[in-house]
Amino acid sequence: MLSLAELARVSAAELEGDGTQLISAVATLKAATADQISFFTNKRYRADLASTSAAAVILAPDQRDAYSGNRIVSNNPYLAFARISAALNPEQLADLGVHSAAVVDPAAELGAGVSVAATATIGAGAKIGRGSTIGPGVSIAAGVEIGANCRISSRAVLLERTRLGDRCQIGAGAVLGSTGFGFANDAGRWEAVPQLGGVLLGDDVDVGSNTTVDRGALEDTVLERGVKLDNQIQIGHGVVIGEDTAIAACVGIAGSTYIGKGCTVAGGVGFVGHLEIVDNVHITGMSMVMRSISEPGVYSGYPSTKNSDWRKNTARFQKLDQLARRVITLERQLNQNNQAESSVDDK
């Protein structure tokens, strides 16, 4: 239990109300009980705000009048919520050491406080930074380098020439460093092109469950500092993703495409290869990006265009059958007019 005053402090927010109130947990407005804190960031939950039993609510300054109880007021209430939740739910430190059923090559280097779970395998020359945890069944190939305080979840696979910065989180079943899909064609048969690059992750990179990141053909595939990848994403060989770019699930990015910093990519989007996407581009769900993008903004569609154009064109598509019928009517009318005209001329 932490006091509201303490929670205001950790979230750098303003407290309005009883700072001594103790809080046990975060909860939704609907589910919160009398010693829990909730948050109001989405107007569709206004009714829940009116009837909540929460001990306190986190909200923005312009919403403070909507709630009369204890308030944590923040210009970024969702961030305040994240920090308060983190304070109430501290990570369980798990300095378990190396399990007897882990298989660690004698030539691997493990930092202080590294945990290695049962059935994990770590190859020769691999380096694991201090405080990192390696989950059950994780496979770390020879020579892989992992920074400090990383979390590698169950069954993730880090293949040769993969290097991670500090505080990276790799999801269960993710695969980093697999062979890129590169073949030359010899009279109809495919011949593999050696894939010689690696995979390089900056600090604070997250990779979701069952996401795959191929190693580069000649140069590294790179996820820069702060990149966040959701589950089941495919990153082709030689792709570079800029700092703080976040990508939702089921996205596929073909080889050698460069994506800038601070971008967001919604679920199911596809990028063809060899594109350049500038910083601060936002792609909406299931779009197919076929050309480089040189201006920041929101893009959508198959193939993708500016979102404002796509929305207009899509609204028209939803009535395309009707539009076609109107063209047919026009054709008939004009035809009738012309016949009438010509019959007038004939007179």
* Catalytic site positions: 237
d(CA 84, CA 78): 10
Query: Does residue 20 contact residue 5 with C-beta atoms inside 8 Å?
Result: yes
Query: Does residue 135 contact residue 115 with C-beta atoms inside 8 Å?
Result: no
Find the angle CA(99)-CA(103)-CA(107) to the nearest 5 degrees. 115
d(CA 139, CA 116): 11
Q: Which is nearer to its own copies, 68 or 332 (CB)?
A: 332
d(CA 261, CA 241): 7
Close Cβ partners of 228 (under 8 Å, ≥ 6 residues apart): 205, 206, 245, 246, 247
Q: Measured between alpha carbons, how far is residue 97 from residues 100, 117, 130, 135, 158 in Å?
A: 9, 8, 11, 12, 20
d(CA 212, CA 209): 9
Query: Does residue 331 contact residue 337 with C-beta atoms inside 8 Å?
Result: no
d(CA 155, CA 110): 19
Close Cβ partners of 9 (under 8 Å, ≥ 6 residues apart): none
Alpha carbons within 13 A on the beta-carbon side of 213: 36
